[in-house]
Amino acid sequence: MESLRLKTNYRCVPALQQFYTGGPFVVSSDNSFIACACGESIKIVDSVTAAIRSTLDADSESITALALSPDDRILFSSSHSRQIRVWDLSTFKCVRSWKGHDGPVMCMTCHPSGGLLATGGADRKVLVWDVDGGYCTHYFKGHGGVVSCVMFHPDPEKQLCDFVYPYLVPQFQLFPTIDFTFHFIYLTDHGEIGAQLFSGSDDGGDNATVRVWDVSKTKKKNCIATLDNHRSAVTSLAISEDGWTLLSSGRDKVITLWDLHDYSNKKTVITNEAVEAVCVIDSSSPFASSLHSYKQDAKKRSGSKAFYFITVGERGIVRIWNSKGAGCIFEQKTSDVTASVDDDGSRRGFTSAVMLPSDQGLLCVTADQQFLFYCLECTEELLQLNLTKRLVGYNEEIVDMKFLGDDEKFLALATNLEQVRIYDTASMSCSYVLSGHTEIVLCLDTCVSTSGRTLILTGSKDNSVSILPFDLMIVENALKFILWEEVLEVRLWESESANCIGVGIGHMGAVGAVAFSKRKRDFFVSGSSDHTLKVWSMDGLSDNTTVPINLKAKAVVAAHDKDINSVAVAPNDSLVCSGSQDRTACVWRLPDLVSVVVFKGHKRGIWSVEFSPVDQCVVTASGDKTIRIWAISDGSCLKTFEGHTSSVLRALFVTRGTQIVSCGADGLVKLWTVKTNECVATYDHHEDKVWALAVGKKTEMLATGGGDAVVNLWFDSTAADKEEAFRKEEEGVLKGQELENAVSDADYTKAIQIAFELRRPHRLFELFSELCRKREAEEHLDRALKGLGDEELRTLFNYVREWNTKPKLCYVSQFVLFRVFSVFPPTHIVEIKGIGEVLEGLIPYSQRHFGRIDRLVRSTFLLDFILSGMSVIEPEAQPTESKTKLLLQSDIHIPDTENDIEERDDTPEITASKKRKSKSSRHGSHKKVKNVAFNRVESIPLQA
- The per-residue pLDDT for 695 is 94
- The per-residue pLDDT for 500 is 66
- The per-residue pLDDT for 148 is 94
How is 22-72 classified by DSSP, letter by letter? SS-EEE-TTSSEEEEEETTEEEEEETTT--EEEEE---SS-EEEEEE-TTS
> Distance between the two ends of the chain, CA-based, in angstroms?
85
The answer to which of 257-266, 607-616, 702-711, 856-865 has the lowest mean pLDDT is 856-865
- The per-residue pLDDT for 574 is 94
What percent of the chain lies above the pLDDT cut of 90?
A: 39
**Peptide bond between residue 166 and the one before it cis (omega within 30 degrees of 0):** no
The answer to which of 53-57, 544-548, 802-806 has the lowest mean pLDDT is 544-548
Over residues 182-233, the pLDDT tens digits come to 333 333 333 334 478 999 998 877 788 999 998 886 556 688 899 998 989 9
State the number of CA atoms in the 13 A half-sphere of 52 facing the CB: 20
Over residues 386-409, the pLDDT tens digits come to 888 889 888 888 999 999 888 888
Over residues 637-693, the pLDDT tens digits come to 999 999 999 999 999 999 999 999 999 999 999 999 999 999 999 999 999 999 999
Please give the C-alpha separations between residue 869 and each of 734, 874, 878, in angstroms, as whole numbers: 64, 9, 14
Band (pLDDT 50/70/90 cuts) for residue 849 is confident
Over residues 883-893, the pLDDT tens digits come to 444 444 444 44
Band (pLDDT 50/70/90 cuts) for residue 819 is confident
- Residue 898: pLDDT over 70: no
- The per-residue pLDDT for 550 is 78
Helix (H) / strand (E) element for 727: namely: helix 718-744
State the number of CA atoms in the 13 A half-sphere of 919 facing the CB: 0
Over residues 930-941, the pLDDT tens digits come to 443 444 444 444
From the list 267, 307, 315, 269, the residue with the least C-alpha distance to 285 is 307
The answer to which of 9-13, 458-462, 901-905 has the lowest mean pLDDT is 901-905
Angle at CA of residue 240, ends 238 and 245, nearest 5°: 90
- The per-residue pLDDT for 684 is 93
- The per-residue pLDDT for 164 is 41
Q: Are 761 and 802 in contact (CB under 8 A)?
A: yes
- Residue 871: pLDDT over 80: no
Over residues 109-132, the pLDDT tens digits come to 999 988 899 999 999 999 999 998
Over residues 580-593, the pLDDT tens digits come to 999 999 999 998 99
- The per-residue pLDDT for 180 is 39
Residue 802 backbone dihedrals phi, psi, to 5 degrees: -70, -45
Pairing of strands 430-435, 482-484: parallel
- The per-residue pLDDT for 253 is 92
Over residues 714-725, the pLDDT tens digits come to 999 998 888 888
The answer to which of 68-72, 253-257, 503-507 has the lowest mean pLDDT is 503-507
- The per-residue pLDDT for 482 is 34
**Contacts of residue 654, Cβ cutoff 8 Å, sequence gap at least 6:** 7, 660, 661, 695, 700
Q: Which of 223-227, 476-480, 493-497 has the highest mean pLDDT?
A: 223-227
Q: Which of 305-309, 491-495, 648-652, 895-899 has the highest mean pLDDT?
A: 648-652
Cβ-in-10-Å burial (0-12, 13-18, 19+) of 111 comes to buried
> Per-residue pLDDT averaged across 613-626, rounded?
95
- The per-residue pLDDT for 319 is 94
Average pLDDT, the chain: 80
b/e for 442-462, b at 16 or more Cβ within 10 A?
A: bbbbbbbbeeebbbbbbbbbb
